[in-house]
Every structure is written in C-alpha cells, then in structure tokens.
C-alpha cells in the first residue's frame, strides 16, 4: 500500500491500534500491533511508553473525527432539538456499517474496567464531551431539566450503540421515537 509506505512508524502504530483494538479488543498483544504496523517492538517502545499509552494516543487522535462525524456544525441553523436528533441519525447511519462494533469509546471503557487506565481516561472524556453537547443543547432548547435530559440522551446513545455493536438490534426506527419521546417530556424545542 503506497500510503502505508509513506506514513511514519508512529502513524502506522496508531492506525494499527485503532483497527485491531476496535476489531479484536484492547487485549490485543504488542506483537500483533507491531506486526500490523510493520514496526519493531523496540521502535514502538521508543515512540510510546507502553501499549496502554499507544491505545490512549490512538483514541485521542480519532476523537476529533468521531465528534465531527457525530455532531452537527456549530453554526448551523437547526433547532437544539434537531441538533440532538442529528446525533442519533448519525449513530443509525454508522450502525449500518458491516464492521460496526459500537462506540469505540464505550467499548474501551467496558473492556478495561480500570477508570485510571490512560485509554479509559481518554474514552471517558470523549463521552463526557458528548454528554456536555446534549446538556448545552437541552439548555438552549428550554428543557425542563437539562442535566437529566443529557443523561437520558447519553444512556440512549450508549444503549443503542452497544446493541447495534453486538448485532442485537438496529437503532433505525427505534432510537428516533425514543429520543423524541424524551425530548417531548422535557418540553424541548
């Protein structure tokens, strides 16, 4: 692959970590990561203190793209209600991909269980930022209890993502009515 030959060992490690941990889980071994990246273990440890740090860096590097894909542009003219619904439309669209395994940030937190793990901290921050988006939109939309609504939205988001990730249910046709009911109950505009 031409792009692979041009990318640095660091970039290849970050890409391998993203791909393999999403597909196979965070328990993937250093040997497999290095082999997929075409990088020696020595080089990996020169670039990253540990596999844990590599995983955290990989998640952090993808956070911006994740947010850009999910959230509507800050300067669009949609109502707060429509902006929240947009996030769930994006989730439904992503969940339709054959390789969708759920929200990578939720999956990492579930697999690691250790809140102090560097990757868990990155994942938690990404999820807190998404909850913050829901809270800000709920406030702008006049929700009766913006904090509660934000918590409900992240619960629905994570639940729908997890169920789609394990192929138990698809969010299409299920999430929008659920979210709409919660938005109506909160008097959300």
Render pLDDT for 105-150 as a digit per residue (tens, 0 to 9). 999 999 999 999 999 999 999 999 999 999 999 999 999 999 999 9
Can you state the percent helix, strand and coil of the chain, rounding each to 5? 70, 0, 30
User: What CATH fold (topology level) applies to the domain 50-185?
Assistant: Tetracycline Repressor; domain 2 (1.10.357)
CATH class of the structural domain 1-48: mainly alpha
Given this model, what pLDDT does residue 111 score?
95
Q: Cα(174)–Cα(152) distance, rounded to whole angstroms?
A: 15
Note the pTM of the prediction, 2 decimals: 0.92
Alpha-carbon dihedral angle through residues 94, 111, 58, 152, given to the nearest 10 degrees: 50
As annotated, the residues of the chain forming the CATH 1.10.357.10 domain(s) are 50-185
Contacts of 54 (CB under 8 A, 6+ apart): 13, 14, 17, 33, 44, 47, 48
pLDDT in tens, 54-107: 999 999 999 999 999 999 998 899 999 999 999 999 999 999 999 999 999 999
As annotated, the residues of the chain forming the CATH 1.10.10 domain(s) are 1-48
The pairs formed by 64-68 with CB atoms below 8 angstroms and a separation of 24 or more are: 66/104, 66/105, 66/126, 67/126, 67/129, 67/130
């Amino acid at each position: 692959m031409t792009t692979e030959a041009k990318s640095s060992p660091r970039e290849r490690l970050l890409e391998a970590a993203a791909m393999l941990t999403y597909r196979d889980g965070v328990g993937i071994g250093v040997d497999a990561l290095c082999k997929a990246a075409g990088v020696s273990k020595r080089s990996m440890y020169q670039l990253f203190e540990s596999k844990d740090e590599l995983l955290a860096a990989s998640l952090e590097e993808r956070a911006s793209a994740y947010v850009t894909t999910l959230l509507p542009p800050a300067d669009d003219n949609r109502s707060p209600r429509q902006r929240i619904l947009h996030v769930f439309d994006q989730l439904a669209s992503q969940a339709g991909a054959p390789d969708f395994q759920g929200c990578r940030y939720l999956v990492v937190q579930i697999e690691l269980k250790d809140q102090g793990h560097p990757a868990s901290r990155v994942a938690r921050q990404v999820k807190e930022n998404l909850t913050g988006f829901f809270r800000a939109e709920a406030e702008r939309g006049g929700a009766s209890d913006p904090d509660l609504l934000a918590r409900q939205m992240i619960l629905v988001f994570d639940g729908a993502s997890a169920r789609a990730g394990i192929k138990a249910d698809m969010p299409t046709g299920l999430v929008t009515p659920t979210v709409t009911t919660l938005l109506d109950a909160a008097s959300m505009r």
